[in-house]
Amino acid sequence: MWTLITCPRTLFVMKNITLALDEETLEAGRTYASRHGTTLNALVRQLLVQTVVADGEAAVAEMFRLMDAHPGNSNGRGWTREELYDR
C-alpha cells in the first residue's frame, strides 16, 4: 500500500511498514501523539527522520573534523579549473 503526501511543488510517495510493539508502548504512543495533536504514524515518521538526519549531520561533522585535523600538503602546487575537471 502507498500513501501520497503532497506539499507545494513536491509529491512524496511513502511506503507502509509494519511495526511490532507491546500493548503498553502502543497505548502510551497513541496517548502522547494525541496530546500533541498528531497521530502515532506521524510521530514515528518524525522521530525516524530526526534520528536519520541527526546521524547524517554527525557524519558530516566528523568528516570536517578529520579534514581540519589533517590539512594535507600540496607542496605549493595549485591546479587550474580545467585540471580539476579533466576526465
Cα dihedral 72→78→81→86 (10° resolution): -80
pLDDT class for 43, splitting at 50, 70, 90? very high
For the full predicted model, state whether its pTM sits above 0.75. Answer: no
pLDDT class for 21, splitting at 50, 70, 90? very high
* Domain containing residue 51: 2-70
Report the distance separating Cα 48 and Cα 62, nearest Å.
Answer: 21
DSSP secondary structure code for residue 10 in this structure: E
pLDDT class for 20, splitting at 50, 70, 90? very high
- Residue 23 domain-assigned? yes
> What's the structural domain count of the chain?
1
Report the DSSP beta bridge partners of residue 7: 10
- Residue 53 domain-assigned? yes
